[in-house]
Amino acid sequence: MVPYEKTIYPSEGDKVRKVTEYAYFLPDDLKINSEVAPEKRYRGIFEVVLYSSKIQLDGAFNPLQIQKLIPENAPIYWDKAVLVLGVPDLRGLADQVKLNWNNQPLVFEPGVPVPDLITSGIHVPVSIKPDIGHQFHIELALKGSDYLYFTPVGKVTEVKMAAPWKDPSFNGAFLPDEKNITNEGFTASWKVLNLNRNFPQQWVGNQNYSFQESAFGVSFLLPVDNYQKSTRSVKYAILFIGLTFLTVFFIELGQKKRVHPFQYALIGLALVIFYTLLVSISEHTSFNLAYLIAGMMTVGLTGIFARSLFQSGKMALIVGGTMTLLYGFLFVVLQLQDYALLIGSLGLFAILAVVMYVSRRVIE
């Protein structure tokens, strides 16, 4: 930010006024190298992702071209220029921010002089000579949660990021040009030009450009956590209830013993309570163990109820066995992340084929 004096010539009868305005210049080159260390933390029984990062910003300003920006003969206060670094949440700064400006160490101060474009950040007064270029190096230790984004303010912005996290989600305005994801972590790199975004490289006054629309980066996903798995399991609830009812219905036809609708409703309620048990137990133990406990309780309750309905241990085993197969199939689907839809669809097709085969002689 470079302040200059602007003369305002009013209408007849008013006095000439002089006000201070700012010319804004973005770096011509900007290279960002970030090393991020995410970790899982718990707030009560809830799991969240926090991270610490070490970020290095290297950039350069070419000789500033001001002829088309600032009125001719307007006083320019080069000695009061300010370098501004936008940080949305200053609580994330973990250490003093180091700046090397033209090989001279400088110290940042909190806040931004004019919050027109950036509402939160830090700044430092710098010495500017408009006819020469300027280089800077910034070292930043930043803490945050869930995601880390950058805004491509350079004429050419290059970003490199590395983190020991196997489930990144790259999002924002730009996807990485190169990425490598393994079980040990990921690396990614972006290259963004000024032509790819919707704000200029230099301007004067309050233009209200939206920098956030061009932000990009990575979110640190929690891969299919307990609540996501529970939500996915609920989507199969109608299938479970329907197939269990079908099993009871086929047994009812074979045994020629009438089952009251109220008893069907009780079986349905037992199947619904399974999901409440699953969520509540998984908040205090692992999802797999919670699934086993909730499944055993539901299968056991329904099997015992079926035995009392048909007065037959064999029929109870058929009902319990059918439910065990269904819960086993659902458990396999919930463990998958990339192939869950494919396996689920094939499984549903197989189940439908079996039901169609078994029910082919129902009318007879």
Q: Where do the structural domains in the chain lie, given as residue ranges?
A: 2-220, 226-361
The confidence score (pLDDT) of residue 131 equals 86
- The answer to whether residues 58 and 137 touch, using CB atoms and an 8 Å cutoff, is yes
CA pair distance 194, 27, nearest whole angstrom = 11
Confidence band for 11, pLDDT divided at 50, 70 and 90? low
On the question of pLDDT at 167 being above 60, the answer is yes
Dump pLDDT digits (tens) for 101-127: 998 999 999 988 887 778 889 999 998
Confidence band for 342, pLDDT divided at 50, 70 and 90? confident
CA of residue 72 relative to chain centroid, distance: 48
The arithmetic mean of pLDDT across residues 296-323, rounded, is 85
Confidence band for 138, pLDDT divided at 50, 70 and 90? very high
Confidence band for 134, pLDDT divided at 50, 70 and 90? very high
The confidence score (pLDDT) of residue 359 equals 67
The arithmetic mean of pLDDT across residues 118-143, rounded, is 90
- The answer to whether residues 32 and 57 touch, using CB atoms and an 8 Å cutoff, is yes
The confidence score (pLDDT) of residue 162 equals 95
The confidence score (pLDDT) of residue 225 equals 62
The arithmetic mean of pLDDT across residues 42-70, rounded, is 84
On the question of pLDDT at 238 being above 70, the answer is yes
Confidence band for 188, pLDDT divided at 50, 70 and 90? very high
Confidence band for 322, pLDDT divided at 50, 70 and 90? confident
Dump pLDDT digits (tens) for 286-303: 888 888 998 899 888 888
The arithmetic mean of pLDDT across residues 96-103, rounded, is 90
Give 187 or 264, the one with higher predicted confidence.
187
CA pair distance 65, 133, nearest whole angstrom = 11
CA pair distance 49, 146, nearest whole angstrom = 5
CA pair distance 211, 155, nearest whole angstrom = 14
The arithmetic mean of pLDDT across residues 315-330, rounded, is 83
Q: How confident is the prediction for the chain on average, in pLDDT?
A: 85
Residue 336 identity (one-letter amino acid): L
- Candidates 175, 203, 211; CA nearest to 87 is 211
- The answer to whether residues 325 and 236 touch, using CB atoms and an 8 Å cutoff, is no
Give 172 or 14, the one with higher predicted confidence.
172
